[in-house]
């Protein structure tokens, strides 16, 4: 298993299925294995054991501490802008080439800081920012509106993701294609897919670039990468609606099947936040020039979109991550189908541990990020081999994981010969990798 530590084998659990039921559900038919050929086993612990292992103080959410981090991010964004605006000029930097490179550096730094602000808003949506709901929603609304994210709309859909993580039919995050869907996407049959040669790396790079540039906006605009079973919604709000630009499924319309009728006011409030931010940006563009607006805000915004897409993708995608058919899915199993990745300084101090404590986040989402490392260490003792963390560390390691996972994780399918409950466990497969080795 090249990407993960050997001590953290597979991951999967269940609060609704007892420990005895979990253990007895492992049938003796075809051996379940991931893309690396590593043996998959259902977990042998419960949600209660996870929660009981976490120190009580980790659940505390002091508002002052959270506000400090929010203010720190805002001040950092303002200072970086002020420094470049004041000094990256012909008077101080005569070379146009150097100034251009400096603005690229500016956009990279601001993109990182802007992503950190998005993570703060994400904390607010889970009520992990403080114990005051009004404060949480106000801060989240401001932070997300600043990076053109509809706060309440995303908060509602993201909660659905947490409720059904890893459910191949109901998840609203990165839902992988089945083998049949992937073949249809390429306009080939499943048999023809089996005969395809390895994808050219250049093609992979172009497709990955498209995901990183447009994946996040398209998720908000038309629900790409999410499930497309809206017709089955009991309220009837999904009738005749489908994913796509004009399919009626998005994060901006109160009639979208992603929400309930009672959510209409907060959806419109989210839209108002985007309108106010867009109006402010329009004023800046008309006052200081549209090219300046693009450099000051547009380029960092592109970086923010990239990081959101990359983080979200890698939190739930790797060659060892299982997904589940609805009949065998449970909350714990879905929560354990997640991955922690250590991005070093960026992940710890700029992204507020949004990448290296995500497994914990799916078990207990109200723990603030500044307690998440301690809580993660506590639950690792309970999870044992089921906890997954990438061996690749730092920014370079994170980008390596992005490339490898995008290239290897193309579709999911059950293991040949699996029966009973095992048949509902789906693993990533790819025509870019050799045949799956059989576990010992």
High-pLDDT (> 90) share of the chain, %? 77
Phi, psi dihedral angles at 436 (to 5 degrees): -65, 125
**Can you point out the beta strands (E) in 142-200?**
none
Per the CB < 8 A criterion, the answer to whether 288 and 281 are in contact is no
d(CA 227, CA 176): 9
Q: CA-CA distance, 247 to 253, in Å (whole number)?
A: 11
- pLDDT, position 389: 93
Q: Which residue has 């576990």 as its token pair?
A: 439
pTM higher than 0.75 for the full model? yes
Backbone angles phi, psi at 30, to 5 degrees: -55, 135
Residue 15 has pLDDT above 70, yes or no: no
Provide DSSP, 155-177.
Answer: HHHHHHHHHSTTBTTT--S-PPP
Q: What is the pLDDT of residue 439?
A: 63
pLDDT at 34: 87
According to DSSP, the β-strands at 322-324 and 411-414 are unpaired
Q: Quickly state the pLDDT bin for 6 (edges 50, 70, 90).
A: very low
Mean pLDDT, residues 61-72 taken together = 98
Give the three-state DSSP class for 135.
Answer: helix
Judge contact between 255 and 261, C-beta under 8 A.
no
Residue 199, CA distances (Å) to 213, 408, 434 in order: 21, 10, 13
pLDDT of residue 438: 67
**In whole angstroms, what is the distance from residue 440 CA to residue 428 CA?**
19
Q: Binning pLDDT at 50, 70 and 90, where does residue 41 land?
A: confident
- 167 phi and psi, to 5 degrees? -85, 115
Per the CB < 8 A criterion, the answer to whether 348 and 207 are in contact is: no
Q: State what percent of residues in the chain have pLDDT above 70.
A: 92
How far apart are the C-alpha atoms of 95 and 275, rounded to whole Å? 38
How far apart are the C-alpha atoms of 329 and 13, rounded to whole Å?
9
> How far is Cα 33 from Cα 22, in angstroms, rounded to an integer?
17
- CA distances to 28, 94, 125, 334, 386 from 422, rounded to whole Å, are 9, 66, 35, 15, 17
Distances (CA, A) of 426 to 196, 404, 423: 21, 19, 8
Mean pLDDT of 101-127: 98
Q: How long, in residues, is the chain?
A: 440
The alpha helices in 164-294, defined as continuous H runs, are 179-185, 190-195, 201-222, 264-288, 290-293
pLDDT tens for each residue of 185-244:
888 898 888 888 888 899 999 999 999 999 999 999 999 989 988 988 888 999 999 999
């Amino acid at each position: 298993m090249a990407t993960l530590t050997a001590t953290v084998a597979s991951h999967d659990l269940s609060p609704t299925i007892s420990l005895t039921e979990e253990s007895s559900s492992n049938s003796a038919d075809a051996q379940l294995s991931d893309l690396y050929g590593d043996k998959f086993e259902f977990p042998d612990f419960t949600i209660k054991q996870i929660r009981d292992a976490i120190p009580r103080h980790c659940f505390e959410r002091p508002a002052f501490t959270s506000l400090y981090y929010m203010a720190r991010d805002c001040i950092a964004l303002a200072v970086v802008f002020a420094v470049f605006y004041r000094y990256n000029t012909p008077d101080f930097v005569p070379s146009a080439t150097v100034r251009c490179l400096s603005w690229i550096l500016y956009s990279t730094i601001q993109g990182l800081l802007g992503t950190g602000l998005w993570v703060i808003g994400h904390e607010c949506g889970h009520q992990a920012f403080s114990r005051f709901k009004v404060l949480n929603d106000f801060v989240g609304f401001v932070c997300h509106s600043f990076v053109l994210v509809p706060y309440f709309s995303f908060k509602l859909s993201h909660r659905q993701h947490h409720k059904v993580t890893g459910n191949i039919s109901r998840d609203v995050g990165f839902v992988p294609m089945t083998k049949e869907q992937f073949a249809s996407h390429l306009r080939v049959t499943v048999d023809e897919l089996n005969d395809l040669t390895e994808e050219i790396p250049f093609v992979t790079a172009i497709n990955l670039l498209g995901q990183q540039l447009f994946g996040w906006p398209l998720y908000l605009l038309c629900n790409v990468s999410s499930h497309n079973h809206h017709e089955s919604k009991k309220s009837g709000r999904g009738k005749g609606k489908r994913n796509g630009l004009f399919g009626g499924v998005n994060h901006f319309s109160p009639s979208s099947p992603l929400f309930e009728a009672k959510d209409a006011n907060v959806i419109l409030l989210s839209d108002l936040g985007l309108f106010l931010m867009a109006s402010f940006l329009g004023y800046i563009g008309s006052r200081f020039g549209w090219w300046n607006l693009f450099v000051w805000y547009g380029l960092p915004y592109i970086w923010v979109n990239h990081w959101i897409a990359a983080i979200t993708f890698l939190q739930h995608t790797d060659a060892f991550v299982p997904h589940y058919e609805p009949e065998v899915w449970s909350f714990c199993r879905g929560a354990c189908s997640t991955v922690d990745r250590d991005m070093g300084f960026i992940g710890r101090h700029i992204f507020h541990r949004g990448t290296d404590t995500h497994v914990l986040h799916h078990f207990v989402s109200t723990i603030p990020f500044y307690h998440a490392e301690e809580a993660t260490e506590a639950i690792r003792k309970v999870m044992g081999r089921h906890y997954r963390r990438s061996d690749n560390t730092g920014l370079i390691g994170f980008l390596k994981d992005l490339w490898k996972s995008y290239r290897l994780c193309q579709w999911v399918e059950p293991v040949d010969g699996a029966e009973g409950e095992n048949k509902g466990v789906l693993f990533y497969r790819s025509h870019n990798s050799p045949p799956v080795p059989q576990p010992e």
